[in-house]
Chains A and B, each alone.
Chain A
């Protein structure tokens, strides 16, 4: 069955970087893009960016573009999101989600990774 398994929770200091992984299985990784979203405590969903299938083409929300790097390792069926220069308000649950060929719609989601920014 389709699975997107994300890396464990992280605690980081302000200014540090975090890299979250999304290991996929149960489907052909090359045909699906991966989007990354986040949800702050008690808040709604926010799209960060995505990486298309079969390419390294990325799309970002402008507010994240300068601080986010999205990559995919086809040999490992895994996607990665690195967020740099962390701020307190980056504390959130980060989700990866797959989308057929593109970066939307999100038909399967990872379980979420809690990222806490604390001094």
Chain B
């Protein structure tokens, strides 16, 4: 199985500042068609997860442009600028290259 490793696991942030979450995969997620098979999800406390980005950099509906992703192959980054209280929760990366789809451990973003 492909192992996804996120860092940091806990991220205290100040409103208005920026945050960055790293995700590393144990295998290359870049397919021959040029897509990176990595998706990002966000889960607020007590709620179901929601899709943020899919196939690398495709933004899901309703996701603000304060959020962005970068990276290719095995190393990926989710960046959140101008942090808001509503950004508090846990962020997960997931590989969708092969089954079983596997998630990173999650990065819990908290307000300082």
User: Which A residues lie at the B interface, using CB under 8 A?
Assistant: 35, 44-47, 59-63, 95, 97, 103-107, 109-112
Contacts and interface: CB of A to CB of B under 8 A. Distances in A.
Contacts of B48: 95, 109-112
B100 A44 contact: no
Contacts, number: 54
A88 B92 CA distance: 25
B101 interface: yes
Contacts of B55: 105
A44 B105 contact: yes
Contact of B94 (A45, A95, A110, A112): A45
Given A44-B104, A47-B103, A61-B100, A105 B54 contact: yes
A61 B94 CA distance: 14
Interface of B: 39, 41, 43, 48-51, 54-55, 60-61, 92, 94, 96, 99-106
Interface centre among A106, A107, A111, A112 (most CB of B within 10 A): A106
A82 to B, nearest CB: 19
A46 B49 CA distance: 12
Interface centre among A45, A47, A110, A111 (most CB of B within 10 A): A45
Nearest to B100: A61
Contacts of A97: 49
B39 A104 contact: yes
A14 to B, nearest CB: 24
14 contacts: A45-B92, A47-B99, A47-B102, A59-B99, A60-B100, A61-B100, A104-B39, A104-B96, A105-B55, A105-B96, A106-B49, A107-B51, A109-B49, A110-B48
A46 B102 CA distance: 7
A117 B105 CA distance: 24
